[in-house]
């Protein structure tokens, strides 16, 4: 039996599609592409290898940027935690600066520094995502079970062994939360960065479609990104998050 929550969610989705279809009939096609036109354009998109190439570039940009920001953000958090003299530098200077600077600003600077290259897009996304990794890991390190770590000292004198066997597993929920948040945010930044300084990817395709007034392609890009992020969160991140919560009781 379908729950009321599911009925409400599905009903809302159908209502949005109906409103979209109606709105598309009230404005010129150049201003809005309707659901059926978008669906046909979507099929043409997924059967065109040249178009799919841009999706592959966007996936690469997002994946590399998430990896870079994850490593850099966590490294800064560990530095501040294990070298207290650097805590003010990391949390009082670097973190506020990165949080305050916008993704568009990074994209424009990267365009000046690196030109319209893959590096520009990856750099822009990474700089926006680093604070998420830094803040999440800071919270994770603050909640470490000190008694468990002390207990580990009685089993081994190796600090590296304790770090790998106790500290890192305790931080899994926070690491995963970073990846989950970063994945959603990265797509928002990627579209802007590729639009401003990329020579490939969804953002670049978005810009070409805008210049040529190919409105259906604009909506296809939007639909693909929404569907991709939703499916990844619903069918990948959410189940793993529940599993981590059962094992570690947090996250």
Q: If we measure between CA atoms, which residue out of 133, 132, 116 comes closest to residue 193?
A: 116
Query: What's the alpha-carbon Rg for the chain, to the nearest Å?
Result: 22
Q: What pLDDT sits at residue 251?
A: 46
The CATH code of the domain at 34-248 is 1.10.3720.10
How is residue 60 written in tokens? 């690469």
Q: What is the mean pLDDT of each run of 10 residues along the chain (251 residues)?
A: 79 93 91 93 91 92 97 97 95 94 91 92 96 95 81 72 83 92 93 86 89 91 91 90 74 46
Which residue ranges make up each domain of the chain? 34-248
- Integer angstrom CA distances of residue 87 from 78, 90, 179, 245: 10, 5, 23, 29
This prediction has a pTM of 0.88
Burial of 228 (0-12, 13-18, 19+ CB in 10 A): middle
CA distance 149 to 219: 52
Q: What pLDDT sits at residue 2?
A: 61
CA distance 170 to 148: 10
Q: What pLDDT sits at residue 24?
A: 92
């Amino acid at each position: 039996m379908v729950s009321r929550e599911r009925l409400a969610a599905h009903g809302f989705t159908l209502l949005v599609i109906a409103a979209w279809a109606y709105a598309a009939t009230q404005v010129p096609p150049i201003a809005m592409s309707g659901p059926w036109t978008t669906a046909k354009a979507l099929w043409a998109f997924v059967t065109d290898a040249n178009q799919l190439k841009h999706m592959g570039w966007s996936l690469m940009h997002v994946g590399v940027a998430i990896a870079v920001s994850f490593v850099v953000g966590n490294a800064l958090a560990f530095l501040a935690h294990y070298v207290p003299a650097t805590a003010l530098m990391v949390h009082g200077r670097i973190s506020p600066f990165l949080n305050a600077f916008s993704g568009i600003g990074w994209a424009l600077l990267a365009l000046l520094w690196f030109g319209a290259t893959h590096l520009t897009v990856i750099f822009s996304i990474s700089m926006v995502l680093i604070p998420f990794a830094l803040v999440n890991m800071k919270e994770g390190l603050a909640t470490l079970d000190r008694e468990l770590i002390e207990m580990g000292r009685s089993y081994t004198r190796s600090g590296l062994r304790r770090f790998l066997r106790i500290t890192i597993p305790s931080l899994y929920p926070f690491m995963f939360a970073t990846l989950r948040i970063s994945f959603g945010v990265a797509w928002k930044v990627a579209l802007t960065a590729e639009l401003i300084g990329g020579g490939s990817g969804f953002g670049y395709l978005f810009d070409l479609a805008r210049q040529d007034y190919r409105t259906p392609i604009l909506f296809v890009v939007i639909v693909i990104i929404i569907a991709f992020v939703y499916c990844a969160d619903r069918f990948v991140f959410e189940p793993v998050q529940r599993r981590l919560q059962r094992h570690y009781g947090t996250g």
